Amino acid sequence: MRHLMSPLDFTVEELDQLMDLAADIEKHPSKYAHACEGKKLATLFYEPSTRTRLSHEAAMLNLGGQVLGFSSADSSSAAKGESVADTIRMISCYADICAIRHPKEGAPMVAAMHSSIPVINAGDGGHQHPTQTLTDLLTIRSLKGHLDHLTIGICGDLKFGRTVHSLINALVRYPGIRFLLISPEELRLPGYVREDFLEKNRIPYEEVVSLDEAIPKLDLLYMTRVQKERFFNEEDYVRMKDFYILDREKMQAAPKDMLVLHPLPRVNEISVEVDDDPRAVYFRQVQYGVYIRMALILTLLEVQVC
Enumerate the active-site residues: 51-52, 80, 101, 129
Q: Does 129 bind ligand NCD (CB under 6 A)?
A: yes
Interaction of residue 141 with ligand NCD, rule CB under 6 A: no
DSSP output for 55-111: HHHHHHHHTT-EEEEES-GGGSGGGGT--HHHHHHHHHHH-SEEEEEESSTTHHHHH
Q: How far is the CB of 150 from ligand NCD (least distance, A)?
A: 21
Closer Cβ to ligand NCD, 69 or 123, answer by number? 123
Which residue, among 132, 85, 143, has the nearest Cα to 281 in the 3D structure? 143
**Shorter beta-carbon distance to ligand NCD: residue 148 or 229:** 229
Is 52 a binder of ligand NCD (CB under 6 A)?
Answer: yes
Alpha-helical (H) ranges within the chain are 12-27, 51-62, 84-94, 107-113, 130-144, 162-171, 191-192, 211-214, 234-240, 248-252, 282-300
Q: Using CB under 6 A, pick the residue from 123, 125, 130, 153 that binds ligand NCD.
A: 123
Nearest to 160 by CA among 106, 230, 83: 230
Residue 264 binds ligand NCD (CB under 6 A)? yes
Span from 3-11, 64-72, 104-112, 257-265 in contact with ligand NCD (CB under 6 A): 257-265
The size of the interface with ligand NCD (CB under 6 A), counted in residues, is: 11
Q: Which residues pair with 119 in a beta bridge?
A: 98
Candidates 265, 269, 216, 220; CA nearest to 240 is 269
The correct pick among 132, 133, 166, 285 for binding ligand NCD (CB under 6 A) is 132
Of 69, 52, 32, 116, residue with least CA distance to 285: 52
Does residue number 51 form part of the binding site for ligand NCD (CB under 6 A)? yes
Q: How far is CA 38 from CA 2, 31, 67, 100, in A?
A: 20, 17, 11, 21
Buried b (16+ CB within 10 A) or exposed e, 120-146: bbbbbbbbbbbbbbbbbbbbbbbbbee
Contact status: 263 vs ligand NCD (CB under 6 A): yes
- Decide: is 71 part of the binding site for ligand NCD (CB under 6 A): no
**Are the CB atoms for 178 and 278 separated by under 8 Å?**
no
To ligand NCD, the closest distance from the beta carbon of 142 in angstroms equals 18
Per 3-state DSSP, the chain is made up of helix, strand and coil in percentages (nearest 5) of 45, 15, 40
State yes or no: residue 246 binds ligand NCD (CB under 6 A).
no
Of residues 218 through 237, those in contact with ligand NCD by CB under 6 A are 225
CB closer to ligand NCD, 141 vs 162: 162
> In the complex, what is the shortest distance from the CB of residue 39 to ligand NCD, in angstroms, rounded to a whole number?
23
CA angle 164, 166, 171 (to 5 degrees): 95
The yes or no reply on residue 43 touching ligand NCD (CB under 6 A) is: no
Give the nearest distance from C-beta 174 to ligand NCD in angstroms: 22
154-193 residues in contact with ligand NCD (CB under 6 A) are 162-163
Residue 139 sits in the site that holds ligand NCD (CB under 6 A): no
Give me the amino acid identity at 257: D
Among the residue ranges 5-13, 203-211, 262-270, 272-280, the one whose residues contact ligand NCD (CB under 6 A):
262-270
Question: Smallest distance, Å, CB 31 to ligand NCD?
Answer: 27
Q: Is 7 in the site for ligand NCD (CB under 6 A)?
A: no
Binding residues for ligand NCD, rule: CB under 6 A, are 51-52, 123, 129, 132, 162-163, 225, 263-265
